[in-house]
Structure 1
Amino acid sequence: MDIALILLTASALIGATAGLRFKVFILAPIALLIALVSAAVLRMRGFGSGGGIVIVVACLVLNQAAYILVQIFGLSSRVSDLSLDDVTDGEPSPGREQAVDDDHGDQEPPRSRPHFPPEN
């Protein structure tokens, strides 16, 4: 029974980590990986078909529930700089400070160019 708790905990942690780092499209490959690994581990430990299926389904549900909880509570906004899937949309985040001012007093004015052809 200890292996079932380990698999359930690992599935929840994987879901929470995926919620912090990736977009929703990563859930399908992760679900496939969790199902295969869980089924293999449970089969090696001697779990029957009925108990194994229940634990694999519980692992998948916990994984996706952890992902959704992280997304709902907005924990991913704090680590969005670490995300590999972020796409820049040109708008700064709401908490970002704008430290650029328009004072260019220390710059020289541009030099005027001579007119070509020269005027006589």
Structure 2
Amino acid sequence: MTVAVTLLLASLVVGLATGLLFRVWALALASPLVAVVSAIALQSAGFEFFAGVSVIVGCLVVSQLAYLLATFHLHREKHSMEDEVDGLPGKHRQKNIRDQYE
């Protein structure tokens, strides 16, 4: 059980690092790497096939969700709903814009 939790935490770190440092194409390299390393670790820990597959799928899901969270964190200011409603920046951003031009 400790191996599974460790693999899930490692997958979380890999997903966050990929999302913060690389573009989406890096997932094409990170996901198979997570799956293979997880399979090797689970096999050496003595997990059975179906238990190992469920942990590997969980690792992949955690990794990709962490990638999405990191990406949304980086680009949260670019996708503001306040900008979409009326085309103007929100109140907290209007002050910064005024200060920039004064």
Q: Give the TM-score taking structure 2 as reference length.
A: 0.72
CA RMSD of aligned residues (A): 2.0
More helix as a share of residues: 2
Report if aligned partners of 2:20, 2:74 keep a CA contact under 8 Å in 1.
no
What is aligned with 1:41?
41
**Which of the two has higher C-alpha Rg?**
1
Report if aligned partners of 1:21, 1:76 keep a CA contact under 8 Å in 2.
no
What is aligned with 1:107?
none
Distance 1:63-1:76 versus aligned 2 partners, 3 A rule: farther
What is aligned with 1:32?
32
Q: Give the TM-score taking structure 1 as reference length.
A: 0.61
Moved over 4 A (4+): none
Kindly tell me the number of residue pairs found equivalent between the two proteins. 79
SS in 1 for 2:59: helix
Task: Give yes or no for the alignment of 1:3 onto 2:7.
Answer: no
Task: Give yes or no for the alignment of 1:58 onto 2:58.
Answer: yes
What is aligned with 2:74?
74
2: CA distance between counterparts of 1:75 and 1:7? 28
What is aligned with 1:116?
none
5+ residue gaps, structure 1 = 78-94, 99-120
